Copies of this chain bind each other. A is one copy, B any other.
Amino acid sequence: MDRKVILYIAMSLYGYIADNNGGVSWLEGHSDNPNSDNGYSDFIKDIDTIVMGMTTYEQVVNELSPNNWPYQGMNSYVFTHKTVEDNKNAEFVSSDIVEFINKLKNEDGKSIWICGGANIVNQLIKSNLIDEYHLTIMPIILGKGIRLFSDTNLTSLLKMKQTKEINGILDVIYTRRVE
C-alpha cells in the first residue's frame, strides 16, 4: 500500500502561513490550553518522514527550535537548489520533488509529512500528490502575508474527512475529492 502524503500546516483564518517578512510568531498564543500540544503528538505518531523547503528549515533551526532538532528519529528531507552537505538532522535534496515523493511513496514506511513552504506545496498539489490536507487554522485574521498558495490557475476539489475544535483552534482534515 502506498504511504500517505499529508500536508499538515498551521495558518491564519484566511490562508496565510507567514507574515510579509516570513515570520510566524503570530501563530503562537491562540490555544486555550498552554499545556497542550493541540493535537501534534496524535498527528506525529503516524509519521516517520518529513519534507520541507530550505526557508522552512532555516526558520526551524534559527528561530523556532535553535537548540535541538525537533524531528529527531524521523527521516528529514530539505529541498533546495543549493548544494548543502547533509547533517545529522537532515538530508538536503536538489532533485525533482515530484519524482522524489513518488519514490518515497513506494518505499515501506509510515506517512510522509509535507511541512511547507508554499513552493513545495504548490508543486505537490499540482501533481495531485497530497493525499490529506490537515490544517490547523488559528482564530486570527491577517490582512496580508505569505499565502500557502501562490496565485495560479489551480483549482482543487477536496472532501472533508473531519473537523473539530482543539483548544479554540480549528483542526480540519480533507482528502482529495477525485482519486
Contacts and interface: CB of A to CB of B under 8 A. Distances in A.
Interface of A: 13-15, 26, 125, 135, 139-144, 147-160, 162-165, 168-170, 172, 174, 177
B163 A168 contact: no
A120 B144 CA distance: 18
Contact of A165 (B142, B163, B177): B163
Q: How many copies does the complex hold?
A: 2
B139 A144 contact: no
Q: Give 10 closest A-B pairs by Cβ, nearest first.
A: A143-B154, A14-B15, A143-B152, A141-B156, A139-B158, A144-B151, A15-B15, A163-B163, A160-B168, A139-B160
A109 B165 CA distance: 32
A158 B174 contact: no
Given A15-B13, A15-B14, A15-B15, A157 B140 contact: yes
Contacts of A142: 154-155
B170 A154 contact: no
Given A14-B147, A139-B159, A160-B168, 18 more contacts: A13-B135, A14-B15, A14-B148, A14-B149, A26-B155, A139-B157, A139-B158, A139-B174, A140-B155, A140-B157, A141-B154, A141-B156, A142-B155, A143-B154, A144-B152, A159-B168, A160-B165, A170-B172
